[in-house]
Amino acid sequence: MLCAAVSKGLGGQQVEGRQAVRELLRARRRRVDEVWLAEGMDDAAILAEISDLARESRVPVRTVPRTRLDGAAHTDAPQGVLARAAPLKD
């Protein structure tokens, strides 16, 4: 089972929310397997930055229906963004 970012900070295997995913990609402390963006989101600068950071790190970015992303989310407000990553090593 994947852990929510809320319960383990950036240490969880699933990180949700625009700021949290951006910081995960910026930190480059662990492997990020994929980033999901919900279809039909606004053209916010942070979303472009997330896409750019993912591309620079060769992380696949998948555009998925909002219902699919929300169904996979472990929090109430993933803000249309989630990432799956390797857990931090102790």
Rg of the chain, C-alpha, whole Å: 12
Q: Which residue has the tokens 């472990």?
A: 74
User: How many whole angstroms from its chain centre is CA 77?
Assistant: 12
Cβ contact 8:67 at 8 Å:
no
Question: What confidence tens digit (pLDDT) does each residue in 12-35 have?
Answer: 799 999 999 999 999 999 999 999
Mean pLDDT of the chain: 88
pLDDT band of residue 10 (cuts 50, 70, 90) is: very low
pTM: 0.83
Cβ contact 23:36 at 8 Å:
no
Encoding tokens for residue 31?
A: 């492997």
Question: What confidence tens digit (pLDDT) does each residue in 28-71 have?
Answer: 999 999 999 999 999 999 999 999 999 999 999 999 999 999 99
> Cβ atoms within 10 A of the Cβ of 68, count?
13
- pLDDT given at position 1: 31
pLDDT band of residue 5 (cuts 50, 70, 90) is: very low
pLDDT band of residue 2 (cuts 50, 70, 90) is: very low
